[in-house]
Amino acid sequence: MSDVDRLVGDVIAGDTRSLAKAISIVEAGSSEAGHILSRLAKHVRGRPVIGFSGPPGSGKSTLIGKFGEYLKGNGLKVAVLAIDPSSPFTGGAVLGDRVRMVSIASAPGVFIRSMATRGARGGVVAYVRSVLRVLDAAGFDFILVETAGAGQTDVSINDVADVVAIVVTPDMGDSIQAIKAGLLEIGDVYVVNKADDSRSSYIASMLEAMLSRGGAKPVVLKTVATRGEGVVELAETLLRKWEQLKTDGELQARRRRQTIAEVVALIMEDFRTAIERFSSDKEFIAEVERLTAEGLDPKSVAREMRSRVLEWVNRL
Amino acid sequence: MSDVDRLVGDVIAGDTRSLAKAISIVEAGSSEAGHILSRLAKHVRGRPVIGFSGPPGSGKSTLIGKFGEYLKGNGLKVAVLAIDPSSPFTGGAVLGDRVRMVSIASAPGVFIRSMATRGARGGVVAYVRSVLRVLDAAGFDFILVETAGAGQTDVSINDVADVVAIVVTPDMGDSIQAIKAGLLEIGDVYVVNKADDSRSSYIASMLEAMLSRGGAKPVVLKTVATRGEGVVELAETLLRKWEQLKTDGELQARRRRQTIAEVVALIMEDFRTAIERFSSDKEFIAEVERLTAEGLDPKSVAREMRSRVLEWVNRL
């Protein structure tokens, strides 16, 4: 029995340390990662992936924590994957938040994992989806994913989650500006968190007005995550939404679109890797210098040289 | 006379508004950009590009301001290109800094330009070098470039500047950590700014010890940029270094390396553009879905599909 077989067996058996190790290997993207993923493939069951996105400080992590508690209370095994670099899960936030999360982190049946993507130069969608497959194969009933929203992380929540909640706060200016600037991704549900703020009803109405399309109103809910208010309604809405998507075939369509995004990211990553690895070849450099010395501008040199890249990518 | 010809003529004649417009066009990377760059090519004289890099808050901008004043005082025309998103030049910093810079910004003979690169997904080296060529052709005697240092911006200062000053502060922990973590790029000169801090001599010694290679000591200078202390010595050291590099052929070697980096970035950019543009093609999507339905994993699908990308890039 190979080390990989043993690790995969332990992951499927629910061993948390093995799971953490398997994820680290998959994140690193080595050839071992490929072995792990292909051995886990037949154990992937396609369980719900619920995404939470929104600006830093909107309370996503607290909301996820409460959501996790709710699911756990219903006897479900929950994994949380935080891709937000400012998330308390990733250690980037204030102590208060981190303390709030401890009750979840240390509870049985909830596995929390953070992924650092800042500075990762692409292909993040593919890494995230690989990790999601590992979590699914490891037997979690629900996977909650947290991202910081467009422009803040290198992955769109819609590319990795089946159902998406966009979390904003009653701080009108920020939220409305974020929508106008296209900084909010497309949600199935919009959550006005910190709804004990007097402006929350106004913001909820604004969201409904701004996001209505052809008579169809968006789903806008209000929560006070710190006190757990509105969490059950949010959870039930998201789970109902997932079931509905599954019934009407939209879930399958979304996952196909995610696979397209993943394949595109992997292709991009192959080309990036090839270019980074082989552009230091002496022969390539000599050729670029020769063309430059002939008076060709860099753009034209690039055009001349780019056919090499396919040879490079096939050498990977 | 075409619009581009007129614009290029005005840039060479030293018209600041035309220069700003030309840079904006070049940054946008349209076909007009290519026309401008090729018409300006014969006016590029290869004047010194002096780079300043270092962590946010190290006082780079203030130092650049004083350096600019020094050069201006010697009758030289100076351009500043700030690629640091947290630079006061780019509007990201405290009022105090911005006020300090006004004397430079409004002075004749100093042109200040900022480039936003956060969120730019590559090719930044190429854009920066294009803008540097425009500035050179516009008749500036010196170009000062500011970046935030490795990991903070998408461009390495060594890829765009002839001579590089790395600016740190006496805050020991941060500076030493930055060096150890490889966050400091390679400098010709290391500057301990805010040297009125009692720890500055210790930090200077540490830098000398840590950066010595084979008996060769690094050049470490101390400045108090806010009071202009040490600025003349720094300026003279950097200019002497540039002359020396020019004499011994190293300047030409560095610029050749920069051109390689630029060409590589342009090739990468072509592939990225092609993949982003054509991966939404119906035919491509249908093929990916067919392969996925056959049970191929995303990595294998990506491998099957990547040969298309060269066709795509040739269609650009």
In order of start, what are the domains of chain A with their CATH numbers? 1-43 (no CATH), 44-248 (3.40.50.300), 264-315 (no CATH)
Please tell me which residue, A90 or B137, carries the higher pLDDT value.
B137
Contact pairs from chain A to chain B, CB under 8 Å: 108
Instruction: Return the C-alpha torsion angle B248, B249, B254, B255, nearest 10.
Output: 140
What's the pLDDT at B97?
40
Contact flag A302-B266 (C-beta cutoff 8 Å): yes
Q: Is A296 exposed, middle or buried (0-12, 13-18, 19+ CB in 10 A)?
A: middle
CA distance B291 to chain A (A): 11
Q: What is the pLDDT of residue A92?
A: 38
Computed over every residue of chain A, the mean pLDDT equals 85
In this complex, which of B264, B272, B288 lies closest to A268 when CB atoms are compared? Answer: B272
Residue A1 pLDDT > 80: no
Query: At residue A93, does pLDDT exceed 50?
Result: no
Q: How far is A36 from chain B (nearest CA, A)?
A: 13
**Cα separation, B172 vs B185, whole angstroms:** 17
Residue matched to tokens 């499927």: A12
Pick the residue with more confidence: A280 or A163?
Answer: A163
Q: What is the ipTM of this complex?
A: 0.82
Query: Minimal Cα–Cα distance from B263 to chain A, Å?
Result: 5
Instruction: Report which of A65, A59, A88 is spatially closest to residue A78, judged by C-alpha positions.
Output: A65
Q: Which residue of B has its CA nearest to A118?
A: B151
Ramachandran angles phi, psi of A61, nearest 5° = -65, -40
- B305-311 contacts: CB < 8 A, separation 24 or more? B305/A263, B305/A267, B306/A267, B306/A270, B306/A271, B306/A310, B306/A313, B307/A310, B308/B278, B308/B284, B309/A267, B309/A271, B309/A310, B309/B271, B309/B274, B309/B275, B309/B278, B310/A306, B310/A307, B310/A309, B310/A310
Give the distance from residue A193's alpha carbon to the nearest chain B alpha carbon, in angstroms: 27
Cβ distance B289 to A121 less than 8 Å, yes or no, reads no
Contact A146, A81 (CB under 8 A): yes
What residues of B are in contact with residue A270 (Cβ under 8 Å)?
302-303, 306
pLDDT at B191: 95
Q: From residue B110, give the alpha-carbon distance in Å to each of A41, A270, B76, B77, B139.
A: 61, 44, 9, 6, 11
State how far the Cα of A5 lies from the Cα of B66, in Å rounded to an integer: 63
- Predicted TM-score (pTM) of this structure: 0.77
Smallest Cβ–Cβ distance between A309 and the set B122, B271, B302 belongs to B271
Question: Of B96, B249, B84, B91, whose CA–CA distance to B151 is shortest?
Answer: B84
Sorting pLDDT into bands at 50, 70 and 90, what band is A28? Answer: confident
Find chain B residues with C-beta within 8 A of A298's C-beta.
126, 129, 259, 262-263, 266
* Whether pLDDT at A119 is above 60: no
User: pLDDT digits over A135-180, tens only?
Assistant: 999 999 999 999 877 666 668 899 999 999 999 888 766 667 666 6
Cβ within 8 Å, pair B259-A41: no
CA distance A81 to chain B (A): 21
Tokens of A181: 């600037």
Which residue of chain A has the CA closest to B262? A298
Q: Is the pLDDT of residue A183 over 50?
A: yes
**Contact across the interface for B305 and A260, Cβ inside 8 Å:** no
**Set of chain B residues whose Cβ sits within 8 Å of the Cβ of A256:** 289, 292
Q: What is the pLDDT along chain B (316 residues), one digit of tens a residue?
A: 789 999 999 999 999 999 999 999 998 878 899 899 999 999 999 999 999 998 878 888 899 999 999 999 999 999 999 885 555 554 433 333 433 444 455 556 688 888 766 445 567 888 899 999 999 999 999 999 998 776 666 688 999 999 999 998 888 666 676 666 666 678 999 999 999 988 899 888 888 888 887 777 889 999 999 999 999 999 999 999 999 999 999 999 999 999 999 999 999 888 988 998 888 899 999 999 999 999 898 989 999 998 888 888 888 8
Cβ-contact A152, A295 below 8 angstroms: no
Assigned token pair, A61: 């992590």
